[in-house]
Structure 1
Amino acid sequence: MNKPERLLYIYTRLLNGKHLNKSTLAQALNINLRSVQRDFSDINNFLYEDEEWRGLNAKIVYDNILETHSLQTFPLKIRQQMLITLLYQIKGTLPVVHEDIYKFIEQYSFSSTNHKVLVHNLLKKFHIKERDYNYSSFIQVARCIDAKYNMTITTRAGAHLYVSPINIHVIDDEFWMTYIKDDLIDAIKFEDIAHLNETSINYTFADMTIKNMITLSISVSFWQYVSTEYNIISSYDKDDKIIAQILMSKVECFALIKKYYKHIKIIAPEAYRDELINHLKTIINQYL
Protein backbone atom coordinates (compact mmCIF):
# COMPACT_ATOMS: atom_id res chain seq x y z
CA MET A 1 0.00 0.00 0.00
CA ASN A 2 1.55 3.32 -1.07
CA LYS A 3 1.47 6.45 1.08
CA PRO A 4 -1.61 8.16 -0.50
CA GLU A 5 -3.62 4.94 -0.06
CA ARG A 6 -2.30 4.64 3.48
CA LEU A 7 -3.33 8.18 4.36
CA LEU A 8 -6.83 7.58 2.98
CA TYR A 9 -7.03 4.32 4.98
CA ILE A 10 -6.19 6.12 8.23
CA TYR A 11 -8.22 9.26 7.44
CA THR A 12 -11.39 7.28 6.63
CA ARG A 13 -11.23 5.38 9.91
CA LEU A 14 -10.65 8.56 11.88
CA LEU A 15 -13.71 10.17 10.22
CA ASN A 16 -15.76 7.13 11.24
CA GLY A 17 -14.84 7.71 14.88
CA LYS A 18 -12.35 4.87 15.19
CA HIS A 19 -9.71 4.88 17.92
CA LEU A 20 -6.46 3.74 16.28
CA ASN A 21 -3.67 2.01 18.12
CA LYS A 22 -0.31 2.87 16.57
CA SER A 23 1.19 -0.63 16.87
CA THR A 24 -1.92 -2.35 15.51
CA LEU A 25 -2.02 0.13 12.63
CA ALA A 26 1.67 -0.44 11.84
CA GLN A 27 1.09 -4.19 11.62
CA ALA A 28 -2.01 -3.80 9.46
CA LEU A 29 -0.23 -1.48 7.03
CA ASN A 30 3.12 -3.30 7.21
CA ILE A 31 5.06 -0.18 8.17
CA ASN A 32 7.03 0.94 11.23
CA LEU A 33 5.78 3.10 14.09
CA ARG A 34 7.70 6.13 12.86
CA SER A 35 5.86 5.99 9.53
CA VAL A 36 2.52 5.83 11.33
CA GLN A 37 3.44 8.91 13.35
CA ARG A 38 4.44 10.76 10.17
CA ASP A 39 1.09 9.84 8.62
CA PHE A 40 -0.72 11.23 11.66
CA SER A 41 1.31 14.44 11.35
CA ASP A 42 0.49 14.75 7.64
CA ILE A 43 -3.23 14.36 8.33
CA ASN A 44 -3.04 16.89 11.18
CA ASN A 45 -1.37 19.38 8.83
CA PHE A 46 -4.16 18.82 6.32
CA LEU A 47 -6.83 19.38 8.99
CA TYR A 48 -5.13 22.61 10.03
CA GLU A 49 -4.72 24.00 6.52
CA ASP A 50 -7.88 22.78 4.78
CA GLU A 51 -10.63 25.42 4.55
CA GLU A 52 -13.45 22.93 5.24
CA TRP A 53 -11.99 22.16 8.69
CA ARG A 54 -11.17 25.75 9.60
CA GLY A 55 -12.67 26.88 12.90
CA LEU A 56 -13.49 23.36 14.11
CA ASN A 57 -10.16 22.90 15.95
CA ALA A 58 -9.98 19.41 14.45
CA LYS A 59 -6.87 17.38 15.19
CA ILE A 60 -5.69 13.87 15.89
CA VAL A 61 -5.20 13.40 19.62
CA TYR A 62 -3.68 10.66 21.74
CA ASP A 63 -5.56 9.05 24.63
CA ASN A 64 -3.07 8.04 27.33
CA ILE A 65 -5.52 5.63 28.96
CA LEU A 66 -6.70 3.82 25.83
CA GLU A 67 -3.31 4.24 24.09
CA THR A 68 -5.08 5.17 20.86
CA HIS A 69 -5.33 8.08 18.45
CA SER A 70 -8.66 9.58 17.38
CA LEU A 71 -10.07 12.60 15.57
CA GLN A 72 -11.19 15.34 17.94
CA THR A 73 -13.15 18.43 16.97
CA PHE A 74 -13.61 19.80 20.50
CA PRO A 75 -11.11 19.93 23.36
CA LEU A 76 -11.49 16.78 25.46
CA LYS A 77 -12.40 18.74 28.59
CA ILE A 78 -15.21 20.57 26.77
CA ARG A 79 -16.56 17.30 25.32
CA GLN A 80 -16.69 15.79 28.79
CA GLN A 81 -18.43 18.86 30.22
CA MET A 82 -20.92 18.70 27.32
CA LEU A 83 -21.68 15.05 28.13
CA ILE A 84 -22.29 15.85 31.80
CA THR A 85 -24.56 18.78 30.88
CA LEU A 86 -26.45 16.54 28.45
CA LEU A 87 -26.96 13.91 31.16
CA TYR A 88 -28.47 16.53 33.48
CA GLN A 89 -30.84 17.64 30.72
CA ILE A 90 -31.86 14.08 29.90
CA LYS A 91 -32.42 13.26 33.57
CA GLY A 92 -34.90 16.13 33.80
CA THR A 93 -36.98 14.93 30.84
CA LEU A 94 -36.29 11.21 30.48
CA PRO A 95 -34.88 9.58 33.65
CA VAL A 96 -34.77 6.25 31.81
CA VAL A 97 -31.81 4.93 29.85
CA HIS A 98 -31.33 1.71 27.94
CA GLU A 99 -28.79 -0.74 29.32
CA ASP A 100 -26.51 -0.48 26.26
CA ILE A 101 -26.37 3.33 26.49
CA TYR A 102 -25.76 3.12 30.25
CA LYS A 103 -22.77 0.82 29.71
CA PHE A 104 -21.42 3.03 26.89
CA ILE A 105 -21.46 6.16 29.07
CA GLU A 106 -20.16 4.30 32.13
CA GLN A 107 -17.14 3.05 30.17
CA TYR A 108 -16.39 6.46 28.63
CA SER A 109 -12.83 7.55 29.30
CA PHE A 110 -12.68 10.68 31.49
CA SER A 111 -9.44 12.55 32.01
CA SER A 112 -10.76 14.07 35.24
CA THR A 113 -11.50 11.85 38.24
CA ASN A 114 -14.06 14.39 39.43
CA HIS A 115 -15.89 14.15 36.11
CA LYS A 116 -15.87 10.36 36.28
CA VAL A 117 -17.33 10.33 39.82
CA LEU A 118 -19.94 12.93 38.88
CA VAL A 119 -21.11 10.92 35.85
CA HIS A 120 -21.18 7.70 37.89
CA ASN A 121 -23.40 9.34 40.53
CA LEU A 122 -25.62 10.82 37.81
CA LEU A 123 -26.11 7.47 36.11
CA LYS A 124 -27.25 5.92 39.41
CA LYS A 125 -30.27 8.26 39.30
CA PHE A 126 -31.46 6.80 36.00
CA HIS A 127 -33.78 3.83 35.70
CA ILE A 128 -32.07 1.20 33.56
CA LYS A 129 -34.25 -0.55 30.99
CA GLU A 130 -33.11 -3.94 29.78
CA ARG A 131 -35.64 -3.98 26.93
CA ASP A 132 -33.92 -4.06 23.56
CA TYR A 133 -34.76 -1.01 21.44
CA ASN A 134 -34.49 -1.31 17.68
CA TYR A 135 -32.44 1.84 17.21
CA SER A 136 -32.58 1.58 13.42
CA SER A 137 -36.34 2.16 13.59
CA PHE A 138 -35.75 5.63 15.10
CA ILE A 139 -33.50 6.49 12.16
CA GLN A 140 -36.01 5.16 9.63
CA VAL A 141 -38.88 7.15 11.11
CA ALA A 142 -36.77 10.31 11.45
CA ARG A 143 -35.67 9.98 7.84
CA CYS A 144 -39.27 9.62 6.63
CA ILE A 145 -40.40 12.59 8.73
CA ASP A 146 -37.66 14.74 7.26
CA ALA A 147 -38.42 13.68 3.66
CA LYS A 148 -42.21 13.49 4.24
CA TYR A 149 -42.37 9.86 3.11
CA ASN A 150 -45.18 7.46 4.02
CA MET A 151 -44.43 4.24 5.90
CA THR A 152 -45.96 0.83 6.45
CA ILE A 153 -46.10 -0.43 10.03
CA THR A 154 -46.81 -3.85 11.48
CA THR A 155 -47.72 -3.66 15.16
CA ARG A 156 -46.94 -6.36 17.71
CA ALA A 157 -50.70 -6.96 17.86
CA GLY A 158 -50.60 -7.89 14.17
CA ALA A 159 -52.21 -4.76 12.67
CA HIS A 160 -50.91 -3.42 9.36
CA LEU A 161 -50.92 0.38 8.99
CA TYR A 162 -50.07 2.71 6.12
CA VAL A 163 -49.17 6.03 7.75
CA SER A 164 -47.61 9.45 7.31
CA PRO A 165 -45.15 9.91 10.23
CA ILE A 166 -44.93 13.48 11.51
CA ASN A 167 -43.12 13.47 14.87
CA ILE A 168 -41.16 11.57 17.53
CA HIS A 169 -41.52 12.47 21.20
CA VAL A 170 -40.70 11.09 24.62
CA ILE A 171 -43.83 10.91 26.77
CA ASP A 172 -43.89 9.36 30.25
CA ASP A 173 -40.48 7.74 29.70
CA GLU A 174 -41.57 6.11 26.42
CA PHE A 175 -40.71 6.89 22.81
CA TRP A 176 -43.77 7.66 20.68
CA MET A 177 -44.26 8.17 16.97
CA THR A 178 -47.05 10.50 15.88
CA TYR A 179 -48.61 9.75 12.51
CA ILE A 180 -51.56 10.54 10.24
CA LYS A 181 -53.75 7.73 8.90
CA ASP A 182 -57.04 8.22 7.04
CA ASP A 183 -56.99 11.94 7.94
CA LEU A 184 -56.74 11.16 11.67
CA ILE A 185 -53.76 11.95 13.90
CA ASP A 186 -52.70 9.19 16.27
CA ALA A 187 -49.59 7.96 18.07
CA ILE A 188 -47.95 4.64 18.80
CA LYS A 189 -45.19 3.57 21.16
CA PHE A 190 -42.03 2.38 19.44
CA GLU A 191 -42.07 -0.71 21.61
CA ASP A 192 -45.44 -1.65 20.07
CA ILE A 193 -43.98 -1.62 16.56
CA ALA A 194 -42.88 -5.03 15.33
CA HIS A 195 -41.75 -3.98 11.88
CA LEU A 196 -41.74 -0.91 9.65
CA ASN A 197 -40.84 -0.09 6.06
CA GLU A 198 -40.08 3.17 4.34
CA THR A 199 -41.73 4.07 1.06
CA SER A 200 -40.74 6.61 -1.57
CA ILE A 201 -44.25 8.07 -1.70
CA ASN A 202 -44.43 11.66 -0.49
CA TYR A 203 -47.23 13.19 1.53
CA THR A 204 -48.22 16.83 1.92
CA PHE A 205 -50.35 18.37 4.65
CA ALA A 206 -52.18 20.43 2.03
CA ASP A 207 -53.70 17.23 0.62
CA MET A 208 -55.10 16.20 4.00
CA THR A 209 -58.29 17.14 5.81
CA ILE A 210 -57.48 16.35 9.42
CA LYS A 211 -60.62 15.32 11.30
CA ASN A 212 -59.19 15.60 14.80
CA MET A 213 -57.03 18.72 14.41
CA ILE A 214 -56.04 20.19 17.78
CA THR A 215 -56.47 23.90 18.44
CA LEU A 216 -54.61 25.47 21.35
CA SER A 217 -54.49 28.86 23.02
CA ILE A 218 -50.81 29.52 23.76
CA SER A 219 -49.08 32.29 25.67
CA VAL A 220 -46.82 34.48 23.56
CA SER A 221 -43.79 33.65 25.72
CA PHE A 222 -44.26 29.94 25.05
CA TRP A 223 -45.07 30.22 21.33
CA GLN A 224 -41.50 29.83 20.10
CA TYR A 225 -41.14 26.44 21.80
CA VAL A 226 -44.41 25.10 20.37
CA SER A 227 -43.86 26.49 16.88
CA THR A 228 -40.44 24.88 16.58
CA GLU A 229 -41.46 21.54 18.13
CA TYR A 230 -44.68 20.90 16.17
CA ASN A 231 -46.16 21.38 12.72
CA ILE A 232 -48.32 24.51 12.76
CA ILE A 233 -51.15 24.61 10.22
CA SER A 234 -52.46 28.10 11.06
CA SER A 235 -52.18 30.70 13.81
CA TYR A 236 -53.43 34.17 14.76
CA ASP A 237 -53.22 36.58 17.70
CA LYS A 238 -56.12 37.07 20.08
CA ASP A 239 -56.18 38.78 23.49
CA ASP A 240 -52.42 38.45 24.09
CA LYS A 241 -52.59 34.77 23.15
CA ILE A 242 -51.80 32.84 19.99
CA ILE A 243 -54.55 30.57 18.70
CA ALA A 244 -53.01 27.79 16.63
CA GLN A 245 -54.09 24.67 14.76
CA ILE A 246 -51.38 22.11 15.39
CA LEU A 247 -50.61 18.65 14.03
CA MET A 248 -50.27 16.73 17.26
CA SER A 249 -51.79 13.62 18.80
CA LYS A 250 -54.01 13.56 21.85
CA VAL A 251 -51.18 11.89 23.77
CA GLU A 252 -48.79 14.71 22.90
CA CYS A 253 -51.39 17.37 23.67
CA PHE A 254 -52.23 16.03 27.13
CA ALA A 255 -48.55 15.56 27.98
CA LEU A 256 -47.79 19.14 26.89
CA ILE A 257 -50.66 20.60 28.93
CA LYS A 258 -49.69 18.51 31.93
CA LYS A 259 -46.19 19.98 31.86
CA TYR A 260 -46.94 23.54 30.71
CA TYR A 261 -50.51 24.13 31.89
CA LYS A 262 -49.81 27.79 32.68
CA HIS A 263 -49.06 28.50 29.01
CA ILE A 264 -51.52 26.30 27.13
CA LYS A 265 -55.27 25.82 26.94
CA ILE A 266 -57.03 23.34 24.67
CA ILE A 267 -59.88 24.71 22.56
CA ALA A 268 -60.64 21.86 20.15
CA PRO A 269 -61.60 19.11 19.58
CA GLU A 270 -64.27 19.51 22.23
CA ALA A 271 -64.16 15.78 23.01
CA TYR A 272 -60.46 16.09 23.96
CA ARG A 273 -61.23 19.15 26.07
CA ASP A 274 -64.01 17.30 27.94
CA GLU A 275 -61.79 14.25 28.45
CA LEU A 276 -59.04 16.42 29.92
CA ILE A 277 -61.51 18.19 32.24
CA ASN A 278 -62.89 14.85 33.48
CA HIS A 279 -59.36 13.59 34.06
CA LEU A 280 -58.53 16.68 36.11
CA LYS A 281 -61.77 16.32 38.11
CA THR A 282 -60.78 12.75 38.96
CA ILE A 283 -57.44 13.97 40.29
CA ILE A 284 -59.10 16.78 42.30
CA ASN A 285 -61.66 14.38 43.82
CA GLN A 286 -58.82 12.34 45.30
CA TYR A 287 -58.00 15.34 47.52
CA LEU A 288 -61.56 16.22 48.57
Structure 2
Amino acid sequence: MDRAFRILTIYHRLLQNKSVNKQSLTLELNTSPRTIQRDIDDTRNFLYESKSWISTPKAITYDYKSESYKLEQDKHENMHFMYDILTALYLTTPKLSHYFYQYLKLLIIKHHSGHRTTLLKYLDRFEIDKNQTGILPASLVVRAMNEIYIDDINQMNLSLSEKSVDIQEKSKLQTYITF
Protein backbone atom coordinates (compact mmCIF):
# COMPACT_ATOMS: atom_id res chain seq x y z
CA MET A 1 0.00 0.00 0.00
CA ASP A 2 1.43 3.39 -0.84
CA ARG A 3 1.96 6.07 1.80
CA ALA A 4 -0.54 8.61 0.43
CA PHE A 5 -3.36 6.06 0.42
CA ARG A 6 -2.62 5.02 4.02
CA ILE A 7 -2.51 8.61 5.29
CA LEU A 8 -5.72 9.54 3.47
CA THR A 9 -7.42 6.43 4.83
CA ILE A 10 -6.45 7.37 8.38
CA TYR A 11 -7.46 11.01 7.94
CA HIS A 12 -10.78 10.11 6.32
CA ARG A 13 -11.71 7.76 9.16
CA LEU A 14 -10.82 10.38 11.74
CA LEU A 15 -12.96 12.98 9.97
CA GLN A 16 -15.89 10.56 10.11
CA ASN A 17 -15.46 10.41 13.91
CA LYS A 18 -14.32 6.81 13.68
CA SER A 19 -11.56 5.51 15.89
CA VAL A 20 -8.34 4.34 14.27
CA ASN A 21 -6.83 1.22 15.77
CA LYS A 22 -3.20 0.67 14.83
CA GLN A 23 -3.38 -3.14 14.98
CA SER A 24 -6.49 -3.44 12.81
CA LEU A 25 -5.03 -1.01 10.26
CA THR A 26 -1.82 -3.03 10.19
CA LEU A 27 -3.78 -6.12 9.17
CA GLU A 28 -6.12 -4.27 6.82
CA LEU A 29 -3.42 -2.37 4.94
CA ASN A 30 -0.86 -5.18 5.10
CA THR A 31 1.93 -3.12 6.62
CA SER A 32 3.89 -2.86 9.88
CA PRO A 33 2.70 -1.15 13.09
CA ARG A 34 5.66 1.25 12.90
CA THR A 35 4.55 2.37 9.42
CA ILE A 36 1.01 3.01 10.66
CA GLN A 37 2.40 4.93 13.65
CA ARG A 38 4.48 7.13 11.31
CA ASP A 39 1.37 7.78 9.18
CA ILE A 40 -0.63 8.76 12.26
CA ASP A 41 2.20 11.05 13.38
CA ASP A 42 2.32 12.64 9.91
CA THR A 43 -1.43 13.26 10.05
CA ARG A 44 -1.07 14.70 13.56
CA ASN A 45 1.74 17.02 12.37
CA PHE A 46 -0.35 18.14 9.39
CA LEU A 47 -3.23 19.12 11.69
CA TYR A 48 -0.86 20.96 14.03
CA GLU A 49 0.84 22.90 11.23
CA SER A 50 -2.44 23.81 9.52
CA LYS A 51 -4.08 25.43 12.56
CA SER A 52 -3.78 28.87 10.97
CA TRP A 53 -5.90 28.06 7.89
CA ILE A 54 -8.26 25.33 9.16
CA SER A 55 -11.38 26.95 10.61
CA THR A 56 -11.59 24.71 13.68
CA PRO A 57 -8.32 23.38 15.09
CA LYS A 58 -8.39 19.65 15.79
CA ALA A 59 -5.93 17.24 17.35
CA ILE A 60 -5.49 13.49 17.26
CA THR A 61 -5.61 11.93 20.71
CA TYR A 62 -4.97 8.40 21.89
CA ASP A 63 -7.71 6.64 23.84
CA TYR A 64 -6.04 4.11 26.15
CA LYS A 65 -9.30 2.34 26.92
CA SER A 66 -10.04 1.39 23.29
CA GLU A 67 -6.37 1.46 22.22
CA SER A 68 -7.19 3.66 19.27
CA TYR A 69 -6.77 7.20 17.98
CA LYS A 70 -9.59 9.72 17.71
CA LEU A 71 -10.00 13.23 16.38
CA GLU A 72 -10.63 15.57 19.28
CA GLN A 73 -13.56 17.91 18.64
CA ASP A 74 -13.98 21.40 20.03
CA LYS A 75 -16.71 21.06 22.68
CA HIS A 76 -17.61 24.76 22.54
CA GLU A 77 -18.22 24.51 18.81
CA ASN A 78 -20.66 21.62 19.36
CA MET A 79 -22.51 23.66 21.97
CA HIS A 80 -22.86 26.57 19.54
CA PHE A 81 -24.27 24.20 16.92
CA MET A 82 -26.94 23.10 19.40
CA TYR A 83 -27.78 26.73 20.20
CA ASP A 84 -28.11 27.41 16.47
CA ILE A 85 -30.41 24.42 16.02
CA LEU A 86 -32.60 25.40 18.96
CA THR A 87 -32.78 29.03 17.81
CA ALA A 88 -33.75 28.04 14.26
CA LEU A 89 -36.40 25.68 15.62
CA TYR A 90 -37.80 28.31 17.96
CA LEU A 91 -38.05 30.88 15.18
CA THR A 92 -39.80 28.49 12.79
CA THR A 93 -41.84 26.22 15.08
CA PRO A 94 -42.04 27.34 18.72
CA LYS A 95 -44.44 24.43 19.42
CA LEU A 96 -42.82 20.98 19.54
CA SER A 97 -44.34 17.55 19.85
CA HIS A 98 -43.72 15.81 23.14
CA TYR A 99 -41.65 13.10 21.43
CA PHE A 100 -39.40 15.59 19.59
CA TYR A 101 -38.92 17.59 22.79
CA GLN A 102 -37.83 14.41 24.59
CA TYR A 103 -35.47 13.57 21.72
CA LEU A 104 -33.80 17.00 21.88
CA LYS A 105 -33.55 16.69 25.65
CA LEU A 106 -31.87 13.29 25.27
CA LEU A 107 -29.36 14.75 22.79
CA ILE A 108 -28.48 17.56 25.17
CA ILE A 109 -28.07 15.23 28.14
CA LYS A 110 -25.97 12.70 26.20
CA HIS A 111 -23.71 14.99 24.16
CA HIS A 112 -23.57 18.36 25.92
CA SER A 113 -22.86 17.53 29.56
CA GLY A 114 -20.72 20.62 30.07
CA HIS A 115 -23.50 22.99 29.01
CA ARG A 116 -26.49 20.85 29.95
CA THR A 117 -28.15 23.35 32.31
CA THR A 118 -27.99 26.28 29.90
CA LEU A 119 -29.18 24.28 26.91
CA LEU A 120 -32.06 22.70 28.87
CA LYS A 121 -33.20 26.18 29.99
CA TYR A 122 -33.13 27.21 26.34
CA LEU A 123 -35.14 24.12 25.39
CA ASP A 124 -37.73 24.86 28.09
CA ARG A 125 -38.76 28.01 26.21
CA PHE A 126 -40.59 25.83 23.69
CA GLU A 127 -44.30 25.11 23.99
CA ILE A 128 -44.90 21.36 24.13
CA ASP A 129 -47.88 19.83 22.33
CA LYS A 130 -48.94 16.91 24.53
CA ASN A 131 -52.18 16.40 22.60
CA GLN A 132 -50.47 14.92 19.59
CA THR A 133 -52.03 11.54 18.84
CA GLY A 134 -50.36 8.82 16.91
CA ILE A 135 -46.79 8.40 15.85
CA LEU A 136 -45.49 9.49 12.50
CA PRO A 137 -43.46 6.88 10.60
CA ALA A 138 -40.42 9.16 10.69
CA SER A 139 -40.56 9.50 14.48
CA LEU A 140 -40.93 5.73 14.78
CA VAL A 141 -37.75 5.29 12.75
CA VAL A 142 -35.90 7.81 14.94
CA ARG A 143 -37.03 6.01 18.09
CA ALA A 144 -35.91 2.67 16.66
CA MET A 145 -32.54 4.11 15.62
CA ASN A 146 -32.02 5.40 19.18
CA GLU A 147 -32.22 1.80 20.39
CA ILE A 148 -29.35 0.59 18.20
CA TYR A 149 -25.93 0.33 19.77
CA ILE A 150 -22.54 -0.34 18.19
CA ASP A 151 -20.55 -2.75 20.34
CA ASP A 152 -17.23 -2.52 18.50
CA ILE A 153 -16.71 -0.03 15.68
CA ASN A 154 -14.05 -2.23 14.09
CA GLN A 155 -16.26 -5.31 13.90
CA MET A 156 -19.60 -3.48 13.51
CA ASN A 157 -21.54 -5.86 15.74
CA LEU A 158 -25.01 -4.38 15.98
CA SER A 159 -27.61 -5.31 18.56
CA LEU A 160 -31.03 -4.01 19.44
CA SER A 161 -31.97 -3.26 23.01
CA GLU A 162 -34.83 -5.06 24.71
CA LYS A 163 -36.99 -1.92 24.83
CA SER A 164 -40.32 -2.19 23.08
CA VAL A 165 -41.67 0.41 20.70
CA ASP A 166 -45.39 0.97 20.99
CA ILE A 167 -47.39 1.81 17.88
CA GLN A 168 -50.69 3.57 18.48
CA GLU A 169 -51.87 3.75 14.88
CA LYS A 170 -51.39 1.35 12.03
CA SER A 171 -51.66 2.72 8.54
CA LYS A 172 -51.17 1.19 5.13
CA LEU A 173 -47.81 2.94 4.92
CA GLN A 174 -44.85 0.65 5.62
CA THR A 175 -41.60 1.88 7.07
CA TYR A 176 -38.35 0.08 6.31
CA ILE A 177 -35.09 0.48 8.18
CA THR A 178 -32.04 -0.52 6.16
CA PHE A 179 -28.60 -1.03 7.70
Rg larger in structure:
1
More strand by share: 1
Structure number with the bigger relative contact order (C-alpha 8 A, sep ≥ 6) is 2
How does the TM-score come out when normalised to structure 1? 0.31
How does the TM-score come out when normalised to structure 2? 0.47
More helix by share: 2
